[in-house]
Amino acid sequence: MTIEHRAVYRFAGAQAGLVQALRLTPPTSDDQTVVRWRIDVDRDARMRPGRDGFGNAVTMLYVDAPLDRLAIEVTGEVLTSNAHGVLRGATEQLPPALFLRATEATPADPAIAAFAHAVAAELEPLAALHAVNAAVHERFVVAPVGDASRPLAEAFADGTVDPVEATHIFLVAARSLGRPARYVSGYRQADGETVASPHGWAEAYVEGIGWIGFDPLLGRSPEEAHVRLATALDAGGASPVAGVPVEEA
Amino acid sequence: MLSRTASSLYWLGRYFERADFIARLVEATVRLDVLSARPAGQAAWASALAVTDTSDAFAEGGRELRRREVARFLTVETCHPGSIVRCVEMARLNARAVRTALTREAWTAINQAWLTFAAKPSADDPTAVLALTDAVKHETRGFEGAVHRMLRNQTTWFIRLGQAVERADNTARLLDVKYHILLPAGERIGGVVDRDQWTTILQTVSAVTAYRWLYSDGLAPANVIDLLIARAELPRSLAASVEETVDVLGMLARRTGLHGEADRMARMRASRMSKTRSGEVIASGLHQYLQAFIEENAQLHGAIGRQFKFM
Amino acid sequence: MTIVAMGTVAFDEIMGSDGAARAELAALGRWLQTTPESELRRRQAAAEATFRQLGITFAVYGESEASERIIPFDIVPRVFLPDEWARLSEGLVQRVEAINAFLDDIYGERRILKDGVLPAELIFGNPQFRPEIAGMRPPHGVWAHICGIDLVRTGPDAFFVLEDNARTPSGVSYMLENREAMLRLCPELFRNFRVAAVDSYPDRLLETMKSVAPEGVSAPTCVVLTPGHYNSAYYEHSFLADSMGIELVEAADLVVDDDIVWMRTIAGRVKVDVIYRRVDDDYLDPLVFRRDSMLGVPGLIAAYAAGNVAIINAPGNGIADDKAIYSYMPEIVRYYSGGAAKLPNVETWRCREPQALRYVLDHLPELVVKLVDGSGGYGMLVGPTASSAEIEAFRAALVAEPHRYIAQPTLALSTVPTMADRGLAPRHVDFRPFVLTGSRGVQVVPGGLTRVALREGSLVVNSSQGGGTKDSFVLMEAPGAQTQSQSQSLGGMTQVQTLGGAAC
């Protein structure tokens, strides 16, 4: 699969300089092989490779000159194979048990827990997670919403959620069932498209199987069309570009 | 030195110097109003407000132009950014931010001044006001001494730079306003002199004795103007402040190896000042001269901030 | 002067339990007897006036006015005998070594979990365990460079650890300023007693900082990072920077470029190698911790992960001094040191455990109940002095969220004579010694912060709740009896034991 992604960021005001953490490098697993990969920016910048606490590859981007916009271009080629959503051969820095914890963006919520328990009923863990994923997909209209910082409970009560909220609802639901769950940021090549675009989904852990992908936006598990970049407890932690609040132009 | 530290030291110098100046101004005004044989009354206090450029701010509060009101406004009024209490508070905030750079002695002087006001002192009668200005002067003198006893390094230079820039501004304002009041349009210098008013000016810049030393021919406005503008022997004269600015910037430049916009401006100003004759200034318009001086001083202030990367 | 109300049930550290001064402290007893009360009060007032003048103040939470108070100072010192101190030091070194080993393990291999010593969910469900820095290792493997271990005492040799502070323990400036005041105001005490000096603390701290600089840096630049002068402990931050002769920086003074930390100076950028931060983890780096925050130094953790800067204390240390972990400290110490903890914990009921919760609910009027994530004496129930309404409020809170609470017995805390309204009277004290860990070992500063509950019978010593401080004398052996072989004296400090080679 070919990835060509160009994002231009404009800042609310001119910045004296810039420090950003880019999680834009895909990890290798049994079903994801990186053939070639590069990150370019349209400024004089220093880039330093590193790794965050979740084990994600992080590129620190330093620009030491005034700027009010920045274009980041990612090009590469990744070979993927369909593993029915099961993650195999990936290196893990943290144990699954960590991914039971709530975060500010994904707080434990009684309404979401009740929803999860109603859907999961007596199902086996894997089937229950698939059922929750399908239920989130069916229940919500996914569309951009005005207030990106509203509490998740409010989003859940509303019928319309943005893509990140949908995935966060799945995470909270899975955790309420005792399943470790995490956010995945990456790319997805939609049906009929020739290039992939940024996308986010979830992974949940089932004892005996491992980490399994769930894409609440599609209502099914990710397939060859998904390229994983980074994982964390929520979308913020796995954010492909973290730094000064920016608006994508 | 951290840029932020340099900025705080500079502002500390400016604010504490301003506190000292206002204290002297208020003290001199009290004397003029109360202790003089011919009390100047309202006019004295109006001119004190004018010197600190706060006539409008004072009037806005619907205050009555009376001694008690003005004295309070200039000393203990916490809502007025130009009061002594606020200047001391700002000096102390800046000092706290650079506590590590100051000696205990220097900090203690500032903190003591602040504690004087923290006790919510009265400024209702002349005695109370004079006690307050005395207390402030005591601490500013202590601070001045402490600064001179500190290591001769960037810390002291930034404080002195702030003091010099502030002092230049204060003296220029004092002279401008008092001169206006004392010589209404059309009146000739050398006419009938209000001795008390002119003495007030000298008192405010602690120059009563210095004047007697330097001028043998009695109290004459032209001499007072000469003293305050051109005599570098007087620490609070424009000439001395301008010289001090150049000296301090020069020491900083030698230490950091950096010369910049502020150095150039300060040197140009000093070279012009050395050629200034007070007689010519009076002849060609003292007010215009002082206004230009105040404006140039403000520009130098901006250049200092840019050169040392104040945030 | 006469001493009133002595001889309560609690162990008094100076007067012993029978109303007469302990034999070793007879001279101090005489000093208390013969110095007129008015003179003691005069000296105390003089010390407090100095503190106020120096600006040794703290801000009180919840008071809107820029209220700056000094912490009350008490003129009567608390005294540790040489052998008491030696035993205490051993326990402190053992505990701090265990804390460092625990942090290195828990953010690395996690052997202690694999070996089943701690329940895994206690770590992974704990907000103090910071996954953001998992896998990162501080330079030289030292995590808790500066520890303040809060102790209480119930008898001559009965010390208990009340709380570990492995993040940014404060109070060391009081240790130093209190001593300075005592030297000035009560010089006769220092003629009568050989008191170990504490004034080399800043040098030791700087040496500790330099020792953990990244590899290959020969003359490291060290700084103290403060949240700013509005912070309640700002005096201490500036005091420490001042006495070490290093810069006191705020986040805005630092910038990270190319994974290197720089500070902004009037002459351009200067590289920074070691940061003693007095800023919480949350506000260190907005790219990593609080992403909504505008505070902190963007990129600081990347520089740390790259091994280009040492952060003192290391980020993530909160897991070691968490109240929920505290109750497992005896097991943790045993696990890493191979022996029983020399300093015991106060008995602790973990309310997350149903059996413990039942006990606690049945005995609320006798217990002290604390929030696991609270500090500063807030969110705390002191059963014996609480009203029944307060007890019932806590009962409801406990039932609703048991996992947030632990409970401990109310101990008969030791007392020290203290200047009270009606003369000297026994008041309860606790103690915070400071323990430094560098790449070359652990050292205990011979002194510390004694906090005293000024209200009669009160057990709450927090400064925000009306506590005061005292100087803490650590007596040295009489010159003839000094045994050099046991401890190596370093300018008043004692290097008790060194870390194993593994950490260096």
Q: What is the 3-state secondary structure (H, E, C) of A166-185?
A: HHHHHHHHHHHCCCCEEEEE
CATH number of the domain to which C373 belongs: 3.30.1490.270
A 107-136 residues with CB < 8 A to C: none
**Interval B11-24 mean pLDDT:** 94
Nearest Cα residue in chain C from A58: C302
Q: What is the pLDDT of residue C84?
A: 93
Give B93→chain C minimum CA distance, Å. Answer: 8
pLDDT of residue C327 exceeding 70: yes
Do residues B275 and B248 touch, judged by C-beta distance below 8 A? no
> B215 has which bridge partners?
none
Question: Rounded to whole angstroms, what are the CA distances from C440 to C98, C212, C310?
Answer: 16, 9, 15
Residues of chain A in contact with residue C261, where contact means CB-CB under 8 angstroms, are none
Q: What is the pLDDT of residue C57?
A: 66
pLDDT of residue C369 exceeding 70: yes
Using DSSP's 3-state secondary structure scheme, residue B37 falls into coil
Do residues A217 and A177 touch, judged by C-beta distance below 8 A? no
pLDDT of residue B157 exceeding 80: yes
Q: Which amino acid is at C226?
A: T
Nearest Cα residue in chain C from B95: C229
Q: At C235, is the pLDDT very low, low, confident or very high (cuts 50, 70, 90)? A: confident
% of chain B with per-residue pLDDT over 70: 93
One domain for residues A116 and A44:
no
- Asked if B99 lies within 8 A of C250 by C-beta distance, the reply is no
One domain for residues A138 and A45:
no
Q: What is the pLDDT of residue B194?
A: 67
d(CA A211, CA A125): 12
Domain annotation covers residue A237: no
One domain for residues A119 and A17:
no
Nearest Cα residue in chain C from A104: C290
Is the CB of C114 inside 8 Å of chain B's CB atoms?
no
Is the CB of B119 inside 8 Å of chain C's CB atoms?
no
**Coarse DSSP helix, strand, coil percentages of chain A, rounded to the nearest 5 percent:** 20, 40, 40
Taking each helix axis as running N to C, give the angle between helix B67-75 and helix B42-51, from 0 to 180 degrees, rounded to the nearest 10: 20
Do residues B40 and B33 touch, judged by C-beta distance below 8 A? yes
Q: What is the pLDDT of residue B187?
A: 53
Do residues B59 and B71 touch, judged by C-beta distance below 8 A? no
- Asked if A233 lies within 8 A of C131 by C-beta distance, the reply is yes
With b for 16 or more beta-carbon neighbours within 10 A and e for fewer, the B47-75 pattern comes to: bbbbbbebbebbeeeeeeeebeebbbbbb
Tokens of B14: 């400016």
d(CA A99, CA A175): 8
Q: What is the pLDDT of residue C493?
A: 45
Q: At C79, is the pLDDT very low, low, confident or very high (cuts 50, 70, 90)? A: very high
Tokens of A233: 């407890």
Q: Of the spans A77-86, B48-57, C326-335, which averages the highest pLDDT? A: C326-335
Residues of chain A in contact with residue C127, where contact means CB-CB under 8 angstroms, are 101
Give the structural domain span for A214. Answer: 96-232
pLDDT of residue B28 exceeding 90: no
Q: Of the spans B244-258, B273-287, C434-448, which averages the highest pLDDT? A: C434-448
Residues of chain C in contact with residue A101, where contact means CB-CB under 8 angstroms, are 124-125, 127
Residues of chain A in contact with residue C258, where contact means CB-CB under 8 angstroms, are 46, 48, 62
Nearest Cα residue in chain C from B309: C266
pLDDT of residue C61 exceeding 80: no
Query: Environment class of residue C23 by beta-carbon count within 10 Å: exposed (0-12), middle (13-18) or buried (19+)?
Result: exposed
Among C257, C260, C295, C319, which would you mutate to test the A interface (most chain A Cβ atoms within 10 Å of its Cβ)? C257
Residues 6+ positions from C396 with CB-CB distance below 8 Å: none
A14-45, pLDDT tens digit by residue?
788 889 999 999 999 988 888 899 999 988 89
Q: At C492, is the pLDDT very low, low, confident or very high (cuts 50, 70, 90)? A: very low
C181-224, pLDDT tens digit by residue?
999 999 999 998 999 999 999 999 999 999 999 999 999 999 99
A195-246, pLDDT tens digit by residue?
888 999 999 999 999 999 999 999 999 988 899 999 999 999 999 988 765 5
CATH number of the domain to which A12 belongs: 2.60.40
Among B1, B2, B102, B155, which would you mutate to test the C interface (most chain C Cβ atoms within 10 Å of its Cβ)? B2
- Asked if B100 lies within 8 A of C248 by C-beta distance, the reply is yes
- Using CB atoms, pick whichever of C134, C255, C298 lies closest to residue A94: C134
Nearest Cα residue in chain C from B101: C242
Q: At A66, is the pLDDT very low, low, confident or very high (cuts 50, 70, 90)? A: confident
Domain annotation covers residue A63: yes
Nearest Cα residue in chain B from C50: B108
- Asked if B4 lies within 8 A of C242 by C-beta distance, the reply is no
Nearest Cα residue in chain B from C241: B100
Tokens of C387: 């009203």
Is the CB of C241 inside 8 Å of chain B's CB atoms?
yes
Give C51→chain B minimum CA distance, Å. Answer: 11
- Asked if C134 lies within 8 A of A53 by C-beta distance, the reply is yes
Give the structural domain span for B30. Answer: 3-307
Among A51, A60, A93, A98, which would you mutate to test the C interface (most chain C Cβ atoms within 10 Å of its Cβ)? A60
Residue pairs spanning B and C at CB distance below 8 A: 63
Nearest Cα residue in chain C from A52: C132
Give the structural domain span for C404. Answer: 348-410
Q: At B271, is the pLDDT very low, low, confident or very high (cuts 50, 70, 90)? A: very high
Q: What is the pLDDT of residue C63?
A: 40
Q: How far apart are the first and last CA of chain C?
A: 55
Q: At C1, is the pLDDT very low, low, confident or very high (cuts 50, 70, 90)? A: very low
Residues of chain C in contact with residue A21, where contact means CB-CB under 8 angstroms, are 287-288, 299, 302
| Radius of gyration of chain A from its Cα atoms, rounded to whole angstroms | 18
Of the candidates C484, C479, C466, C449, which has an alpha carbon nearest to the alpha carbon of residue C77? Answer: C449
Is the CB of C255 inside 8 Å of chain B's CB atoms?
no
- Asked if C238 lies within 8 A of B99 by C-beta distance, the reply is yes
C149-191, pLDDT tens digit by residue?
999 999 888 999 999 999 999 899 999 999 999 999 999 999 9
pLDDT of residue C77 exceeding 90: yes
Q: What is the 3-state secondary structure (H, E, C) of C182-210?
A: HHHHCHHHHHHCCECCCCCHHHHHHHHHH
Cis omega (within 30 of 0) for bond into C231? no
Among C266, C269, C276, which would you mutate to test the B interface (most chain B Cβ atoms within 10 Å of its Cβ)? C266
B31-89, pLDDT tens digit by residue?
878 766 666 678 788 888 888 888 888 988 788 888 889 999 999 988 888 899 999 99
Q: What is the pLDDT of residue C82?
A: 94
Domain annotation covers residue C394: yes
Is the CB of A243 inside 8 Å of chain C's CB atoms?
yes
Residues 6+ positions from A95 with CB-CB distance below 8 Å: C110, C120, C124
Give A146→chain C minimum CA distance, Å. Answer: 18
- Asked if A52 lies within 8 A of C259 by C-beta distance, the reply is no
Q: At C294, is the pLDDT very low, low, confident or very high (cuts 50, 70, 90)? A: confident
Of the candidates A96, A110, A64, which has an alpha carbon nearest to the alpha carbon of residue A207? Answer: A96
Between C92 and A247, the more confident residue is C92
- Asked if C131 lies within 8 A of A53 by C-beta distance, the reply is yes
pLDDT of residue C481 exceeding 70: no
Q: Which amino acid is at A227?
A: V
Residues of chain C in contact with residue B93, where contact means CB-CB under 8 angstroms, are 229
Give C478→chain B minimum CA distance, Å. Answer: 36
Domain annotation covers residue C401: yes
Of the candidates B16, B49, B290, which has an alpha carbon nearest to the alpha carbon of residue B172? Answer: B290
Domain annotation covers residue C151: no
Structure-token match 């005995």, residue found: C363
Cα C31–Cα C34–Cα C40 angle in degrees, nearest 5? 75
Q: What is the pLDDT of residue B36?
A: 62
Domain annotation covers residue A156: yes
pLDDT of residue B166 exceeding 90: yes
One domain for residues A102 and A203:
yes
pLDDT of residue C436 exceeding 50: yes
C 33-52 residues with CB < 8 A to B: 52
A98-142, pLDDT tens digit by residue?
999 999 999 999 999 999 999 998 899 999 999 999 999 999 998
One domain for residues A101 and A61:
no
One domain for residues A100 and A64:
no
CATH number of the domain to which A124 belongs: 3.10.620.30
Using DSSP's 3-state secondary structure scheme, residue C478 falls into coil
Between B171 and C411, the more confident residue is B171
pLDDT of residue C359 exceeding 80: yes
Q: How many domains does chain B have?
A: 1
C247-275, pLDDT tens digit by residue?
999 999 999 999 999 999 998 899 999 99
A 57-86 residues with CB < 8 A to C: 58, 60, 62, 64
Is the CB of C260 inside 8 Å of chain A's CB atoms?
no
Secondary structure letter of residue C125 according to DSSP: T
Residues 6+ positions from C312 with CB-CB distance below 8 Å: C145, C146, C208, C209, C212, C274, C275, C276, C277
Structure-token match 């609040």, residue found: A245
Nearest Cα residue in chain C from A102: C125
Give A59→chain C minimum CA distance, Å. Answer: 9
Q: How many domains does chain A have?
A: 2
Structure-token match 């051109």, residue found: B230
One domain for residues A76 and A190:
no
Nearest Cα residue in chain C from A47: C258
Domain annotation covers residue C403: yes
Residues of chain C in contact with residue A52, where contact means CB-CB under 8 angstroms, are 132, 288, 305
Lowest-pLDDT range, B41-55, B193-207, B284-298, C323-337? B193-207
d(CA B182, CA A48): 69
Do residues B99 and C238 touch, judged by C-beta distance below 8 A? yes
pLDDT of residue C68 exceeding 80: no
- Asked if C132 lies within 8 A of A53 by C-beta distance, the reply is yes
One domain for residues A76 and A101:
no
Q: Mean pLDDT of all residues in chain A?
A: 90
Secondary structure letter of residue B83 according to DSSP: S
Of the candidates B155, B119, B163, B179, which has an alpha carbon nearest to the alpha carbon of residue B19? Answer: B163
Residues of chain C in contact with residue A244, where contact means CB-CB under 8 angstroms, are 298
**Interval C94-116 mean pLDDT:** 96
Do residues A61 and A73 touch, judged by C-beta distance below 8 A? no
Domain annotation covers residue C188: no
pLDDT of residue B241 exceeding 90: yes
One domain for residues A135 and A202:
yes
Residues 6+ positions from C353 with CB-CB distance below 8 Å: none
d(CA B267, CA B265): 6
Structure-token match 């498209």, residue found: A193
Q: What is the pLDDT of residue B197?
A: 75
Using DSSP's 3-state secondary structure scheme, residue C92 falls into helix
Between C51 and C306, the more confident residue is C306
- Using CB atoms, pick whichever of A48, A55, A97 lies closest to residue C135: A55
Residues 6+ positions from B88 with CB-CB distance below 8 Å: B15, B16, B19, B110, B113, B114, B116, B117, B136
With b for 16 or more beta-carbon neighbours within 10 A and e for fewer, the B155-168 pattern comes to: bbbbbbbbbbbbbb
Estimate to the nearest angstrom the gap between the alpha carbon of B138 and the chain centroid. 16
Q: How many domains does chain C have?
A: 1
- Asked if A19 lies within 8 A of C259 by C-beta distance, the reply is no
- Asked if B108 lies within 8 A of C54 by C-beta distance, the reply is yes
Estimate to the nearest angstrom the gap between the alpha carbon of A42 and the chain centroid. 25
Q: Which amino acid is at C352?
A: R
